[in-house]
Amino acid sequence: MTDGATIQRLIPEIILVLGASAIILASPFHASASVLRAAGRAVVLAAVLFLVGPGTQAVLQSDRILFADPLSMALRWVTLIAAAIFVHGGSRTERQDSLEGERIGLTLFVFAGCMLVAAAADLSLLFVALELVSIPTYTLLFLGRRDVGSSESSIKYFLLSIFSSAFFLYGLAWVYLLTGTTSLVSSGSAANSILEHGWSGMWPWAVLFVFCGLGFKLAAFPLHFYAPDVYQGATPMNAGLLAVAPKIVGVAGLLRLLACWGPEFNPAMVAVFAVVPIITMSVGNVGALWQSHLRRLLAYSSIAHAGYLLIGVAVLVAGVGPTGWVDGASSTLMYLAVYAIASLGTFCALAGLRIGGQVPENLDELAGLARREPWLAFALSVFMFSMAGIPPLAGFWGKLGLFTGAVRVAQAVSSSPQVANWMLALAVVGVLNAAVAAAYYLRVVGTLWFRTPMIDDVPRSEPVPRQVAVLCAILLLAIGVYPQALISGFRGAAVTSIVPAVSDARGLPPAARKLAEQSLVTRLPGLSAND
Amino acid sequence: MVDQALPVLLFLLAAGALSVGMVVVGTLFGPRRATAVKRMPYESGMDPIHDSRRRFDVRFHLVAIAFLIFDVELLFLYPWAVASHHPQGIDAAIAAGAGSGRGVVFCGVLFFLGLVVLGLVYEWKRGVLKWR
Amino acid sequence: MMSVETTALVLVLVKIALMLGGIMTAAAYFVLLERRVAAWVQDRHGPNRVGIPLTKIRLMGLGQPLADGLKMIFKEEYIPAQVDRPLYIIAPIVIMTAALAAFAAIPLGSVVPEITQLGIKEPIPLLVATQLDVGMLYVFALSSIAVYGVILGGWSSNSKYSFLGGLRSSAQMIAYELPLGLGILGVVLACHSLRLDAIIQHQADSGVWFVLAQPLGFVVFLVAAFAEAGRLPFDLTECEQELVGGYHTEYGGMKLVLFLTAEFIHMITASFLIVILYLGGWHLWGVTGSGVDVGWVGALLRMAVLMAKTFGLIFFFMLIRWSWPRFRFDQLMSLAWKVMLPLGLLNLVAVAICTELAHPSVAGNWLDSRLGGGGTALFFCVAGWGVAFLGLCAVALTQPMIGDNRPRRNLDLQHVDQQLDFEGRPSAG
């Protein structure tokens, strides 16, 4: 039964959902758009306050529905910060009509769904939370614009997304069939006992289906085709939502499921998890090189970032011991947080721009932006440098964590040369890709600062998106200068959440687990990025 | 289970057989003398233009979606409606320690009904229910 | 001597045969009745000639259904050229099978005493699916399948009239399924069972028919049942004057008979459901009693009461048909969504609150000690009538069905723009 503590834990999500419902309901009663926007901000603020407040400190006793561990808290924080940026920075001139309330409310639903995915400890709740992300997204895409291109992209996303949801649900059904439980924790241990007893023919298929569903959310390699078309057809803010919310969901789901189902030291599985990021990164980066359409370029870049995120997941899968698990999970989280801020900042900045009353579509239209909007150009440059991974910025630390994690696992698993080679390959391909990516990110920066406008008209920006973009840029700079707080926070989350879950799933004795945790915790303060 | 389902199954089979039988009887005894004139869509009048399966008003879709949502929501209420006062229903479950009390269940259902009403209010105000 | 299982099986088969035969005969004769009622309402003679064949005995036209049936069997079996043949043939079969099969869970009385001479040692329930615990849901589900027959028929015919008729009637049927379900929910909540015989037994035991306790639910259910059966004033499925017959325009011969018979069977089902859910089923104060043990006389009396009530309702259906004009489609939809659905929800909430209050752990004991058992029942009945009155007053005051129905050509564009719900978005109509 649900107890009070569960509900108390969920207060931020409940606030978001109820607030969103109220805003949507108020919309047809001719509430003014500015009031609704203020209400949206107030709802997000209230959710933030309750996430720090005492309400969420309630201790769950043997709860089957929710995780209340640092991992879920970390992901909920990332989500709420993204929500704050999104709700505050969303351009007010994107489309002025009586549907503003629906747009704000549905956005809040999406972020509430992301937070629920991070906290879900039950397969059915996980699926419902995933749908809470997907279904409002479809509507948001349709609400965005009304031309042939946007209709095409909305329909494309809608059909492919329900297809992937069906895959996901089908996989969950198989998991339930095999393990007889919908609880994530007990399904993990049940699955491992199945594997030990050798009756494992269906298990990999179930896992494959589930990860297909999540891979679509991430836009990972075989399921990435939709991204460029959909981003191009969507409004900038919707594209920003697509670039961030599904990524949070995908990472949360992957980390949680892998932790609970216990990564097996299985070279074939490692190979799959290593090949996918390698191809995803390369496809994304190479594809982006040729793009002249802004959102298409960013779509390919987001595919590439999905590949980087999956490096961490591959490290988690290959990790022989707690060190590998923690390295993989924490570097993925770090990268996700940094990517979310940079990506949302970029899309906010683009959404605020107007050239001749229109949203700029092509990179050429941004030529010479620095003369008219120096602050915005500065912010955009910071985002591009960060996504490229240029040293003083936050993105550098994200990439560094991923690559060092892969290298460290490669050294640690010298017993299995195949796995070690895959890990090394991940690191090498990752570095090469970063170099390729720098080419197109620098092209954007060059266009902003050094090219002369092709026509007389230079884009202008709305004030609020500009402020939000500059704020995001400052945030990225701050993280870049002092990444230690964030890194150790995510490491702590991974240590206290991932390690016990994996140990439970793989049936490690408590004493060994305790030892592993302690060794990791004591190593934390001395952890420099180059360690 | 067999006791529950068998009479229903037999009834379904019998009803189906009766319906099929009526069609078959009609086919067996009815004459068939198709002529060119008889095959024309209208005996007197112009042939119809366009396929009949054309695009139709989007409101029909809206009604269908609204129906789907409300119908599923109402279906959730049937188990509660039966269990609410059944001797082996909610009271027995609470006596067995499954929950904190009748009031919680009742408030939950009222909250759920409230959501249904809010959905209806939203649709109404948005003009989904308006046919012009 | 047959074994117990065989006896039970034979009993089920006999019941099925009697039930199907009875329904088909009843449907045929209700067609005749309908024509005679129409004639009576319109002050003319109906079909009164056909009696016993080859004689001059007319019998008030009682031979007419037989003659009609024979005529339909020998009608030409004509399938139009451009139809989707499989669907075109399946549609009437689907609608007819579903309409008939709904009767598996409908009781035609209470029980008949055991017949020891035939080896039947227990009273026989007058119900085919005696063990089915979800009888009401089963009937509800099967009556919903009618939509499929209508849509398939309208779609496969490849005629614009059929298509429009099918589209309209599917929208109508699904829209009125919600109030129908809400009406059922109120009753199910009050007697905590989905079995129709248990629902009758509950009314017989308490002596309070649900029409007295939940008048609002009765109104909602009655209207929704009319619409589901596609009877006037809700016969937009056919509306001969506009759509030449709606979804079965392109049908003829026995397939048309299946459609038409299925419609009559829907009406019979609806009457049975109204009687069973709200009008006490076989119960009548002072006549039938409420005990489980009845002799042959009691059993026949109960059957007669149930049949009489149902017949009365069918007669009511027919009178309505010949005295009411048809709704316009927008009125039909407004009635479903803006009147019936809110009223149904209101009724459900009221019933939920009342039954919750009557629960011993809430306020039931207190009410009983203050008012006595009968007083409590009376109290809740009065509450039900109060809610019904308030609901109907609210409908009358808000007038949700009154809209701007002027022809569109008389509206200037400015005016139209103001009425659109979304700024700048063209209306989908």
Query: Between helices A322-352 and A70-89, what is the axis angle to 10°?
Result: 10
Q: What is the CA radius of gyration of chain C?
A: 24
Percent of chain C with pLDDT over 70: 91
| pLDDT on residue C405 | 56
Average pLDDT over residues A68-79: 84
**Domain assignment present for A354:** yes
On whether any CB of chain B is under 8 Å from the CB of C73, the answer is yes
Note whether B74 contacts C185, CB cutoff 8 Å. yes
Under the banding of pLDDT at 50, 70 and 90, the label for residue A263 is low
Note whether A460 and A354 are within 8 A (CB).
yes
Q: Is the pLDDT of residue C277 over 90?
A: yes
| pLDDT on residue A527 | 39
Tallying the residues shown for chain B, one arrives at 132
Scanning every residue of chain B, which has its alpha carbon at the shortest distance from the alpha carbon of C186?
Answer: B81
* Higher per-residue confidence, A315 vs B55: A315
Q: Measured between CA atoms, how close is A26 to chain C, in angstroms?
A: 14
Q: Measured between CA atoms, how close is B39 to chain C, in angstroms?
A: 7
On whether any CB of chain B is under 8 Å from the CB of A201, the answer is no
**Total number of domains constituting chain A:** 1
Contacts of B70 in chain C (CB under 8 A): 178, 341
| pLDDT on residue C342 | 92
Under the banding of pLDDT at 50, 70 and 90, the label for residue C129 is confident
Comparing A151-165, A397-411, A469-483, A514-528, which segment has the lowest mean pLDDT?
A: A514-528
**Domain assignment present for A178:** no
Note whether B102 contacts C356, CB cutoff 8 Å. yes
- Residue from the list A1, A21, A28 with its beta carbon closest to the beta carbon of B126: A28
Q: Measured between CA atoms, how close is B119 to chain A, in angstroms?
A: 8
Residues 15-74 of A with CB under 8 A from B: 21, 24-25, 28-29
**Domain assignment present for A390:** yes
Scanning every residue of chain C, which has its alpha carbon at the shortest distance from the alpha carbon of A100?
Answer: C422
Q: How far apart are CA A420 and CA A414, in angstroms?
A: 6
On whether any CB of chain A is under 8 Å from the CB of B118, the answer is yes
Instruction: Find out whether the peptide bond into B31 is cis, omega within 30 degrees of 0.
Output: no
Q: H-type helices in chain B, by residue range? A: 2-29, 36-39, 58-75, 77-83, 90-95, 102-126
Note whether C50 and C71 are within 8 A (CB).
no
Q: Is the pLDDT of residue C310 over 50?
A: yes
| pLDDT on residue C411 | 53
Residue A400: domain span: 266-531
Under the banding of pLDDT at 50, 70 and 90, the label for residue A522 is very low
On whether any CB of chain A is under 8 Å from the CB of B100, the answer is yes
Under the banding of pLDDT at 50, 70 and 90, the label for residue A531 is very low
Comparing A413-422, C41-50, C250-259, which segment has the lowest mean pLDDT?
A: A413-422
Q: Measured between CA atoms, how close is B32 to chain A, in angstroms?
A: 47
Q: Measured between CA atoms, how close is B96 to chain A, in angstroms?
A: 13
Mutate to test the interface with B, among C4, C13, C96 (most CBs of B within 10 A): C96
Q: Is the pLDDT of residue A62 over 70?
A: no
* Higher per-residue confidence, C414 vs C189: C189
Q: Is the pLDDT of residue A113 over 90?
A: yes
Q: How far apart are CA C354 and CA C214, in angstroms?
A: 11
| pLDDT on residue C423 | 47
Q: Measured between CA atoms, how close is B69 to chain C, in angstroms?
A: 10
| pLDDT on residue C6 | 82
Q: H-type helices in A262-366, by residue range? A: 267-289, 294-318, 322-352
Contacts of B99 in chain A (CB under 8 A): 1
| pLDDT on residue A357 | 74
Contacts of A28 in chain B (CB under 8 A): 122, 125-127
Contacts of C425 in chain A (CB under 8 A): 97, 146
Average pLDDT over residues C86-99: 92
| pLDDT on residue C218 | 94
On whether any CB of chain A is under 8 Å from the CB of B121, the answer is yes
Residues 399-418 of C with CB under 8 A from B: 403-404, 408
| pLDDT on residue A474 | 92
Note whether A98 contacts C422, CB cutoff 8 Å. yes
Note whether A332 and A399 are within 8 A (CB).
no
Q: Is the pLDDT of residue C428 over 50?
A: no
Note whether C333 contacts B131, CB cutoff 8 Å. yes
| pLDDT on residue C269 | 92
Closest of A233, A44, A238 to residue A139, by C-alpha:
A238
* Higher per-residue confidence, A389 vs A58: A389
Q: Measured between CA atoms, how close is A96 to chain C, in angstroms?
A: 9
Give the angle C221-B125-C164 at the CA atoms, nearest 5°.
60
**Domain assignment present for A247:** no
Average pLDDT over residues B82-96: 83
Joined tokens for residue A179: 């393990």
pLDDT digits (tens, 9 = 90+) for B21-57: 988 988 888 888 877 777 777 767 777 777 777 778 7
Scanning every residue of chain A, which has its alpha carbon at the shortest distance from the alpha carbon of B99?
Answer: A1
* Higher per-residue confidence, A486 vs A31: A486
Under the banding of pLDDT at 50, 70 and 90, the label for residue A526 is very low
On whether any CB of chain B is under 8 Å from the CB of C178, the answer is yes
Average pLDDT over residues A313-320: 82
pLDDT digits (tens, 9 = 90+) for A273-286: 889 999 999 999 99
What values do phi and psi take at A168, rounded to 5?
A: -60, -50
pTM, to two decimals: 0.82
Q: Which residues of A touch C (CB under 8 A)?
A: 28, 97-99, 146
Q: Measured between CA atoms, how close is B123 to chain A, in angstroms?
A: 9
| pLDDT on residue A381 | 92
Contacts of A103 in chain C (CB under 8 A): none
| pLDDT on residue A198 | 59
Q: Which chains touch A (3 or more CB pairs under 8 A)?
A: B, C
Scanning every residue of chain B, which has its alpha carbon at the shortest distance from the alpha carbon of A23?
Answer: B122
Scanning every residue of chain C, which has its alpha carbon at the shortest distance from the alpha carbon of B116?
Answer: C345
**Domain assignment present for A396:** yes
Number of cross-chain residue pairs from B and C with Cβ atoms under 8 Å apart: 217
Contacts of C123 (CB under 8 A, 6+ apart): C111, C112, C113, C114, C292, C293
- Residue from the list C174, C329, C334 with its beta carbon closest to the beta carbon of B64: C174
Contacts of C194 in chain B (CB under 8 A): 78, 82
* Look-up of token digits 């099969």: C101
> How far is CA A278 from each of CA A204, A228, A252, A284, C234, rounded to the nearest angstrom?
21, 19, 20, 10, 64
Mean pLDDT comparison of A422-436, B53-67, C153-167, highest-scoring range: A422-436
Contacts of A99 in chain C (CB under 8 A): 422
Percent of chain B with pLDDT over 90: 14
Note whether A25 contacts B122, CB cutoff 8 Å. yes
Mutate to test the interface with A, among C417, C420, C422 (most CBs of A within 10 A): C422
Q: Give the Cβ contact number of residue A108 at 10 Å.
A: 28
Strand partners, C124: C112
In chain B, what are the domains? 2-126 (1.20.58.1610)
Contacts of C421 in chain A (CB under 8 A): 28, 98
| pLDDT on residue C413 | 54
Closest of C184, C22, C19, C10 to residue C106, by C-alpha:
C19
| pLDDT on residue A383 | 92
pLDDT digits (tens, 9 = 90+) for C217-263: 999 999 999 888 877 788 776 666 666 667 888 887 888 889 888 88
To the nearest whole number, what is the mean pLDDT of chain A?
Answer: 83
Note whether A97 contacts C425, CB cutoff 8 Å. yes
Q: Measured between CA atoms, how close is A25 to chain B, in angstroms?
A: 6
- Residue from the list C80, C89, C155 with its beta carbon closest to the beta carbon of B53: C155
H or E element in which residue A27 lies: none
Q: Is the pLDDT of residue A187 over 60?
A: yes
| pLDDT on residue A197 | 66
Average pLDDT over residues C403-421: 54
**Domain assignment present for A324:** yes
Secondary structure of chain C in HEC code, one letter for each residue:
CCCHHHHHHHHHHHHHHHHHHHHHHHHHHHHHHHHHHHHHHCCCCCCCCCCCCCCCCCHHHCCHHHHHHHHHHCCCCCCCCCCCHHHHHHHHHHHHHHHHHHHHHCCCCCEECCEHHHCECCCEECCCCCCCCCHHHHHHHHHHHHHHHHHHHHHHCCCHHHHHHHHHHHHHHHHHHHHHHHHHHHHHHHHCCCCHHHHHHHHHHHCCCHHHHCHHHHHHHHHHHHHHHCCCCCHHHCCHHHHCCHHHCCCCHHHHHHHHHHHHHHHHHHHHHHHHHHCCCCCCCCCCCCCCCCCHHHHHHHHHHHHHHHHHHHHHHHHHHCCCCCCCHHHHHHHHHHHHHHHHHHHHHHHHHHHHHHCHHHHHHHHHHHHHHHHHHHHHHHHHHHHHHHHHHHHHHHCCCCCCCCCHHHCCHHHHHHHCCCCCCCCCC
Note whether C422 contacts A99, CB cutoff 8 Å. yes
Average pLDDT over residues C169-182: 90
Closest of C186, C251, C190 to residue C377, by C-alpha:
C190
Q: Measured between CA atoms, how close is A93 to chain C, in angstroms?
A: 15
Q: Measured between CA atoms, how close is C421 to chain A, in angstroms?
A: 8
Q: Is the pLDDT of residue C141 over 60?
A: yes
- Residue from the list B8, B26, B130 with its beta carbon closest to the beta carbon of C132: B8
Euclidean distance between the first and final Cα of chain A, in Å? 46
| pLDDT on residue A509 | 60
Scanning every residue of chain A, which has its alpha carbon at the shortest distance from the alpha carbon of B98?
Answer: A1
Q: Is the pLDDT of residue B16 over 50?
A: yes
| pLDDT on residue B17 | 93
Residues 147-176 of A with CB under 8 A from B: none
Q: How far apart are CA A472 and CA A481, in angstroms?
A: 14
Comparing A61-70, A404-413, B55-64, C73-82, which segment has the lowest mean pLDDT?
A: A61-70
ipTM value for the complex: 0.89
- Residue from the list C12, C74, C174 with its beta carbon closest to the beta carbon of B63: C174
To the nearest whole number, what is the mean pLDDT of chain B?
Answer: 83
**Domain assignment present for A218:** no
Under the banding of pLDDT at 50, 70 and 90, the label for residue A530 is very low
Scanning every residue of chain B, which has its alpha carbon at the shortest distance from the alpha carbon of A4?
Answer: B100
